[in-house]
């Protein structure tokens, strides 16, 4: 039984939010950019993050193919008032985290990687009946 089966996704996202100081919000998005879960953000903002995060990862994936660097696993956007970090969860989903300007991005990335590792198997297409292709 996976972590996804035993603990609701919203609670896992909430745990991520509380795991590192400076994480302002977190979103889990499906491969088509739909919001699956969010904590710390208004619903409309979370929906925009979901759509934009998946789009950014798709663009990164396309660039990886063009450059021969492989698939895109993570994208970091650094703004004057914070950061947005997008990380792929398996092939069909993504985790998008909004972080404050002073956040330790190494700690944020580590917490995100732990989250992705723990919930990733629940997003594998074969566990969901193979409905999505990689």
- Dump pLDDT digits (tens) for 55-91: 999 999 999 989 999 888 899 999 999 999 999 997 6
Q: What is the pTM of this model?
A: 0.84
- Specify the pLDDT at position 81: 96
Distance (Å, whole) CA 50 – CA 34: 6
9-19 helix and 105-119 helix, angle to the nearest 10 degrees = 160
Phi (first) and psi of residue 33, to 5 degrees:
85, 10
């Amino acid at each position: 039984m996976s972590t996804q089966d035993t603990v609701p996704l919203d609670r896992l996202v909430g745990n991520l939010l509380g795991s590192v100081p400076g994480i302002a919000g977190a979103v889990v998005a499906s491969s088509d950019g739909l919001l699956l879960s969010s904590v710390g953000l208004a619903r409309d903002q979370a929906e925009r993050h979901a759509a934009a995060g998946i789009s950014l990862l798709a663009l990164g994936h396309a660039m990886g193919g063009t450059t021969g660097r492989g698939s895109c696993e993570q994208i970091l956007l650094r703004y004057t008032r914070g950061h947005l970090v997008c990380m792929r969860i398996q092939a069909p989903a993504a985790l998008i985290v909004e972080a404050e300007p002073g956040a330790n991005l190494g700690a944020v990335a580590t917490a995100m990687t732990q989250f992705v590792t723990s919930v990733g198997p629940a997003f594998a297409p074969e566990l969901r009946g193979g409905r999505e292709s990689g």
